[in-house]
């Protein structure tokens, strides 16, 4: 609802403008997908698939799910259209609702909105750097740079993960008595997920568990070091968090999260990483992917509560009119005004009636200027301009003069 929707719109426009300037193109995927797409991509034993997905059987017996995220759908769409064989390098973005049956609380909703980017065809750490810069530019553009910080980690490749998994299973078996029910179930199927547990009783034991970063081979280590060296050279501060494992199974090598301390428990605003094997696992070519998704609900909370962001007034000028003849002229002039000054919003009064009533409506709309077409103005082909917010004297002008004044007055919004 307005006025919150104004902040949503401003944030989305700023961010979509930026992704486009980084050369990413929009993709729109359906809300409903085969459940299997997420079961296999996100991972059977993840919280998302095990507990949170809205999955159901439709009247035709098909198993469908409301998308809990956008990466798997993007890969499916590219493979359906056979795009990656001809053009393995792709930079794509999406914005839309995602669905997870989580326990709702501030910053955590069952329908939430993500802006995501996914790039394909780049194996090296440079694409990761590009996407970190892109996110950093979001925070800068929205005035949130000081409250969001970056955490990074590497999950290595298949071999490193296999070695780490073996060590983890051995370690957790040693500490079997300390594992909760969920973790015991995960021990054989997906021990890495145990590291994700929020159970306070297990935190010390988890803290001391073997870290993947200690099982990397030279190639993965060099990849991660190069990534960090680029961040250093660009002056981007970060923290290496060896416990950062992410809640989805498809990641390999670098993963990252942008977090804030200003939102309580739901502090992750944006998260992602490299996923080298997902395309291939669905029968596609050997094309790596790398991306992130940003939670718009959380971002808007930060804008409202921390940055105290005030949305721009939704209305700039409001036409106050003597009669239907004046209204007719106002409709024509207002259209010309919108075309000449694309960032300016203009409302022509509907309902007419006494000037007093129209001025009330003008004031309630939030408009800065009232443009008045009374008897005299109409006859002289002019308009009177009254500032509703400051006490400056009223001026009477011709239409061309009015355009000049409005351009000058609303200079910042003429885009």
Choose between 106 and 286: whose C-beta lies nearer to ligand HAM. Answer: 106
Shortest spacing between CB 285 and ligand HAM, in angstroms: 19
- Tell me if 191 sits within 8 A of 245, measured CB to CB: no
Identify the residue among 295, 302, 320, 326 touching ligand HAM (CB under 6 A). Answer: 295
Structure tokens that stand for 197 in this block: 């547990």
Residue range at the interface with ligand HAM (CB under 6 A); choices 81-89, 113-121, 181-189, 228-236: 113-121
Identify the residue among 24, 122, 256, 292 touching ligand HAM (CB under 6 A). Answer: 292
Choose between 114 and 346: whose C-beta lies nearer to ligand HAM. Answer: 114
The beta-strand segments (E) located in 73-183 are: 90-99, 111-120, 149-154
Nearest to 79 by CA among 47, 33, 113: 33
Identify the residue among 101, 108, 175, 211 touching ligand HAM (CB under 6 A). Answer: 108
DSSP state of 309: P
Shortest spacing between CB 31 and ligand HAM, in angstroms: 15
Q: Does 256 bind ligand HAM (CB under 6 A)?
A: no
Q: Does 71 bind ligand HAM (CB under 6 A)?
A: yes
Q: Does 101 bind ligand HAM (CB under 6 A)?
A: no
Residue range at the interface with ligand HAM (CB under 6 A); choices 6-14, 108-116, 377-385, 393-401: 108-116
Shortest spacing between CB 138 and ligand HAM, in angstroms: 12
User: What residue is closest to ligand HAM based on CB?
Assistant: 295
Shortest spacing between CB 304 and ligand HAM, in angstroms: 15
Shortest spacing between CB 403 and ligand HAM, in angstroms: 43
Q: Does 112 bind ligand HAM (CB under 6 A)?
A: yes
Shortest spacing between CB 291 and ligand HAM, in angstroms: 3
DSSP state of 57: E
Identify the residue among 76, 100, 161, 329 touching ligand HAM (CB under 6 A). Answer: 100
The contact pattern for ligand HAM, residues 233-252, with x = CB under 6 A and - = no contact, is --------------xx----
> Which residues are paired to 34 by β-bridges?
64
d(CA 250, CA 360) in angstroms, rounded, equals 57
Identify the residue among 93, 109, 224, 227 touching ligand HAM (CB under 6 A). Answer: 109
d(CA 250, CA 230) in angstroms, rounded, equals 24
Choose between 118 and 316: whose C-beta lies nearer to ligand HAM. Answer: 118
Q: Does 287 bind ligand HAM (CB under 6 A)?
A: no
Nearest to 237 by CA among 131, 154, 152: 152
Cis omega (within 30 of 0) on the bond before 310? no
d(CA 261, CA 60) in angstroms, rounded, equals 47
Alpha carbon of 390 to those of 91, 222, 262, 309, 374: distances in Å?
A: 48, 61, 36, 22, 21
Identify the residue among 64, 135, 216, 293 touching ligand HAM (CB under 6 A). Answer: 293
d(CA 134, CA 128) in angstroms, rounded, equals 10
Choose between 118 and 276: whose C-beta lies nearer to ligand HAM. Answer: 118
Q: Does 291 bind ligand HAM (CB under 6 A)?
A: yes
Choose between 41 and 346: whose C-beta lies nearer to ligand HAM. Answer: 41
d(CA 118, CA 193) in angstroms, rounded, equals 24
d(CA 309, CA 102) in angstroms, rounded, equals 28
Choose between 102 and 401: whose C-beta lies nearer to ligand HAM. Answer: 102
Choose between 73 and 365: whose C-beta lies nearer to ligand HAM. Answer: 73
Q: Is 82 left (phi over 0), alpha (psi -120 to 50) or beta?
A: left
DSSP state of 308: -
Rounded to the nearest 5 degrees, what angle is found at the Cα of 248, between the Cα atoms of 245 and 252?
A: 60
Alpha carbon of 147 to those of 40, 142, 268: distances in Å?
A: 35, 11, 12
The contact pattern for ligand HAM, residues 118-147, with x = CB under 6 A and - = no contact, is x-----------------------------
Identify the residue among 114, 153, 254, 365 touching ligand HAM (CB under 6 A). Answer: 114
Alpha carbon of 4 to those of 1, 8, 261, 297: distances in Å?
A: 6, 7, 22, 11
Residues that bind ligand HAM (CB under 6 A): 69-71, 100, 102, 108-109, 112, 114, 116, 118, 247-248, 268-272, 291-293, 295, 297-298
């Amino acid at each position: 609802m307005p006025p919150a929707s104004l902040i949503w719109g401003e944030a989305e426009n700023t961010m979509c403008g930026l992704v486009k300037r980084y050369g990413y193109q929009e993709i729109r995927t359906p809300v409903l997908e085969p459940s299997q797409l997420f079961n296999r991509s996100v991972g059977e034993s993840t919280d998302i698939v095990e507990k949170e997905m809205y999955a159901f059987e439709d009247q035709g017996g098909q198993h469908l799910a409301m998308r809990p995220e956008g990466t798997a759908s993007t890969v499916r769409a590219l493979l359906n259209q056979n795009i990656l064989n001809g053009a393995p390098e792709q930079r794509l973005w999406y914005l839309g609702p995602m669905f997870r049956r989580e326990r709702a609380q501030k910053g955590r909703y069952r329908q939430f909105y993500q802006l995501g980017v996914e790039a394909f065809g780049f194996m090296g750490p440079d694409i990761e750097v590009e996407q970190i810069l892109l996110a950093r530019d979001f925070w800068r553009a929205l005035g949130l740079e000081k409250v969001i910080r970056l955490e990074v980690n590497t999950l290595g490749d298949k071999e490193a993960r296999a070695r780490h998994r073996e060590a983890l299973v051995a370690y957790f078996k040693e500490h079997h008595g300390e594992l909760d029910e969920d973790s015991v179930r995960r021990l054989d199927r997906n021990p890495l997920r145990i590291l994700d547990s929020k159970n306070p009783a297990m935190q010390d034991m988890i803290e001391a568990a073997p870290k993947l970063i200690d099982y990397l081979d030279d190639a993965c280590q060099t990849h991660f070091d190069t990534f960090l060296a680029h961040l250093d050279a660009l002056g981007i501060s970060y923290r290496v968090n060896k416990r950062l494992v992410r809640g989805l199974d498809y990641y390999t090598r670098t993963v990252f999260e942008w977090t804030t301390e200003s939102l309580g428990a739901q502090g992750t605003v944006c998260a992602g990483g490299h996923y080298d094997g997902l395309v291939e696992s669905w029968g596609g070519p050997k094309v790596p992917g790398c991306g992130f998704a940003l939670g718009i609900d959380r971002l808007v909370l930060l804008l409202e509560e921390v940055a105290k962001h005030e949305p721009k007034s939704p209305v700039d000028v409001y036409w106050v009119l003597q009669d239907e003849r004046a209204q007719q002229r106002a409709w024509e002039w207002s259209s010309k005004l919108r075309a000449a000054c694309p960032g300016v919003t203009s409302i022509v009064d509907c309902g007419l009636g006494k000037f007093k009533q129209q001025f009330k409506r003008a004031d309630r709309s939030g408009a800065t200027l009232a443009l008045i077409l009374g008897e005299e103005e109409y006859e002289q082909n002019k308009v009177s301009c009254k500032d509703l917010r400051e006490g400056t004297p009223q001026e009477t002008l011709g239409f061309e003069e009015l355009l000049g004044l409005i351009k000058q007055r609303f200079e910042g919004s003429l885009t």
